[in-house]
Amino acid sequence: MSHIENSRTALILAGGWEGHQPEACAAMLRTELSKRGFEVVVKTDLGVLDDGASLQQHAVIIPLWTMGALSDAQEANLTAAIRSGVGLAGFHGGMGDAFRGRVEYQWMVGGIFAAHPDNIIPYRVEIVKPHDPVVAGIDDFDVQTEQYYMLVDPAVEVLAQTTFGARESAPWVEGSIMPVAWKKRHGAGRVFYLALGHHAEDFVNVPQQLEILLRGIGWAARLA
């Protein structure tokens, strides 16, 4: 691996569409990751991606950047860092709906946001790999948030999933089983994604999803 061995630095990229509260989510993650021994760096400018060598010094990169735009060089630097062994982890639109049209980035993430029929709704999250350390000891739980319909790489390792019920705005999705949390490899890098987390308070209201996210970040950073 080309990044510093035993690095505990988490680089958070906070920006993009304000509806997903990137600054509030970054502040929440800074606090929670610091408790778990990370040194957290928050950047609100994608210019940090112009320096490919510096990216490879982090343990994990966490994009909180719904939509937004990458240059060719920025996409190349970011994907090269992950292929070299840096971790990538994130949640909801900040990672799954970031940098639309950037195919290399989307391949690395393992899924692309497509829709959230009926917007904020109650639904059940089912743990499907209860012995995996990221979700071990966490029972199925209920949330009230956007139920993401994703286009997903069949090679991802699904840790949690949800089943779509009848949706007024898209009745044809009823019965579809959709990943909610997954992990995968991209080159030498570990990638973790959680579809939950529309607003920062979601992690307070449903502590299970915060625990899964923090464990997933730790796994991507090779600390778990």
Token representation of residue 202: 């979601």
Mean pLDDT by 10 residues, the chain (224 residues): 67 97 97 96 98 96 97 98 98 98 98 97 98 98 97 97 96 98 98 97 96 98 88
| Bridge partners (DSSP) listed for residue 89 | 192
Task: For the chain, give the number of residues.
Answer: 224
- What is the predicted pLDDT for the residue at 7? 82
> What pLDDT is recorded for position 3?
46
Provide the pLDDT for residue 196.
Answer: 98
Would you state the pLDDT for residue 2? 43
Given this model, what pLDDT does residue 6 score?
A: 64
